[in-house]
Amino acid sequence: MDVQTLTYLIVGLSFALYIGIAIWSRAGSTKEFYVAGGGVPPVMNGMATAADWMSAASFISLAGIVSFVGYDGSVYLMGWTGGYVLLALCMAPYLRKFGKFTVPDFIGERYYSQAARTVAVICAIFICFTYIAGQMRGVGVVFSRFLEVEVDTGVYIGMAVVFFYAVLGGMKGITYTQVAQYCVLIFAFMVPAIFLSVMMTGHVLPQLGFGAQLLDAAGNGSGVYLLDKLDGLQTELGFAQYTEGAKSTIDVFAITAALMVGTAGLPHVIVRFFTVPKVKHARSSAGWALVFIAIMYTTIPALAAFSRVNMIETINGPDSAGVAYETAPQWIKNWEKTGLIKWDDKNGDGKMYYAKGDANEMNIDRDIMVLATPEIANLPAWVIALVAAGGLAAALSTSAGLLLVISTSVSHDLLKKNLMPNISDKQELLYARIASAVGIVIAGYFGINPPGFVAAVVAFAFGLAAASLFPAIVMGIFSKKMNKEGAIAGMVVGLAFTAGYIVYFKLIDPSANVADNWLFGISPEGIGMIGMLLNFGVALAVSKVTAQVPMAVQEMVESIRFPKGAGAAGDH
């Protein structure tokens, strides 16, 4: 079969599986819609959490960033994985003990304030829509190439699939669908990585191939290590060495910190720990999620390096003199149709040439690297189709989790707990589904009109989470003295500052987005760290000059710091 037929087959079968699971596990109550009934086994919850967290940014875009920028891309690897450890060890069991459906629910009850709940709802929705823009963009990229449709059409198809199983199944349907999606995405990611590692280094494990010698034509060790080869290619073409970074130390630290604490403040990840039966299961499911995440994240640097070598050599040829367009590899012509690769024959010699600076003739979208890698390496057609299914699984799994947060924030926190306290369970479930549907439409718009490439957009969402929700959650757990006035002021200032900084440099005046103009030399991707510090500072200052926390709330905080009980998720 050809690639397109296989893609239709494999993607179609995976979609049928997701929809079938959604029908089987459809939610019949708000508890099932919000937290899957609170009865998901830890291993399955860990797998679902990994799928929820490893989005299109992880599957499609992260290896692309590392492939193009080398060492500097490690900030994403360190920040996202480090943040998950922080969440698992320091926050998950305490939030589970508290026993509420959502992050705004926790903040509203802990800070004894509907205003705090409303601010948290706004923060959660703001973060989720920023995040989901990257996911829908990923869906469009996959469809535009492998189903040979317009990017917009691909987004519409993705919207329809997510609508079906997110709106019908809620958290229960999403959880079991994400278990299947994790299996699809990890298999799809690892297969080409293993193929490339064996072909280029002789090692089955990509993690070992990353530090190994390349094979020569006879299949023996060439004496040239993969990273040495990359460094040589990079410098020959005018780029910085692959193993050296161009970012300043302060910016590397800021981006890593923003991603780390942002991970620990992401509402769609935190809600996962309300779906397990007991507090101890929250810890164990977090541990399982780390194992499942590590499989991909330890493979990403290797796949990025393999892909970079292959990409350069197929465009420039072994002698780096360029390849005539007539004899160019088919993968370039395939991706040209999507507009994600463009060739400008500047010197009129009919040859494609990839380099840094004015000599460069190739405009290559970073988001295509993982998807194009099997074609670049001439892997079997079924591997190409499998990667397409994996990319869609990654994007759709996270989109569903984000939509659930949006819907629960509106129906449970804004309506049930604030504006319409007397609505029935059935009415609340209806409003949740309506909010999901509206959320999908808005997410689709962002997918068609994204503000950047996938991983960068997602990085902004982490920065917003770091600057708004993370401090309020941490102080809510570990500080009995933090009052509602301090928490509200901190969230507002942190979110406003971080969002304003990102909007200015990315939308209002993109030409000013250079290190010389950044505050303390910190890029928009890392500014969430400063927003977080502002949040903490403002919250502590305001709490010192306002009313003390009621004694009942202080006792509640004391009780959740000793997470030994079950604390069933509910409205108590």
| Residue indicated by tokens 């492939």 | 67
User: Helix, strand or coil for residue 225?
Assistant: strand
Measured in degrees and rounded to the nearest 5, phi and psi for residue 451 equal: -85, 15
* 60 neighbors 394 (Cβ within 8 angstroms): yes
Q: Which two tokens stand for residue 306?
A: 């393999």
Q: Which two tokens stand for residue 507?
A: 């939308």
Angle between helices 381-408 and 3-24 (to 10 degrees): 30
Contacts of 218 (CB under 8 A, 6+ apart): none
Return the H-helix or E-strand segment holding 324: strand 323-324
pLDDT score of 539: 95
Q: Which of 123, 128, 49, 120 is nearest to 443 (CA)?
A: 128
User: What one-character DSSP code corresponds to residue 521?
Assistant: G
| Residue indicated by tokens 């829509």 | 129
DSSP string, 95-161: HHHHT-SSHHHHHHHHTT-HHHHHHHHHHHHHHHHHHHHHHHHHHHHHHHHHS---HHHHHHHHHHH
Q: Which residues of the chain have pLDDT under 50?
A: 36-37, 563-572
* 96 neighbors 566 (Cβ within 8 angstroms): no
Angle at alpha carbon of residue 48, lines to 61 and 175, rounded to 5°: 120
Q: Which of 4, 145, 63 is nearest to 453 (CA)?
A: 63
Rounded distance, CA 436 to CA 277, Å? 26
Q: What are the structural domains of the chain?
A: 8-215+248-300+383-469 (1.20.1730.10)
* 372 neighbors 315 (Cβ within 8 angstroms): no
Rounded distance, CA 37 to CA 306, Å? 44
Dihedral sign for Cα atoms in the order 78, 83, 88, 90: positive
pLDDT score of 93: 73
pLDDT score of 571: 43
**Ramachandran category for residue 164: left, alpha or beta (phi over 0 → left; psi -120 to 50 → alpha):** alpha
| Residue indicated by tokens 């990102």 | 502
pLDDT score of 167: 63
Query: What number of CA atoms fall less than 13 Å from residue 327's CA on the CB side?
Result: 7
pLDDT score of 85: 76
pLDDT score of 569: 46
Strand partners, 215: 221
* 520 neighbors 530 (Cβ within 8 angstroms): yes
User: Helix, strand or coil for residue 363?
Assistant: strand
pLDDT tens for each residue of 436-458 = 788 788 878 877 776 555 555 66
b/e sequence 41-74, b meaning 16+ C-beta within 10 Å: ebbbbbbbbbbbbbbbbbbbbbbbbbbbbbbbbb
pLDDT score of 572: 40
* 466 neighbors 262 (Cβ within 8 angstroms): yes
Rounded distance, CA 43 to CA 204, Å? 27
Contacts of 454 (CB under 8 A, 6+ apart): 56, 57, 60, 61, 134, 135, 137, 138, 141, 367
pLDDT score of 208: 92
Alpha helix positions (H), 279-360: 279-297, 300-316, 330-336
User: Helix, strand or coil for residue 213?
Assistant: strand
Q: Which of 57, 107, 47 is nearest to 80 (CA)?
A: 57
pLDDT score of 25: 60
* 62 neighbors 454 (Cβ within 8 angstroms): no
Rounded distance, CA 161 to CA 18, Å? 9
Centre a 10 Å sphere on the Cβ of residue 539 and count the other Cβ atoms it contains.
25
Rounded distance, CA 182 to CA 147, Å? 22
Q: Which two tokens stand for residue 187?
A: 């298999």
* 240 neighbors 70 (Cβ within 8 angstroms): yes
* 403 neighbors 52 (Cβ within 8 angstroms): no
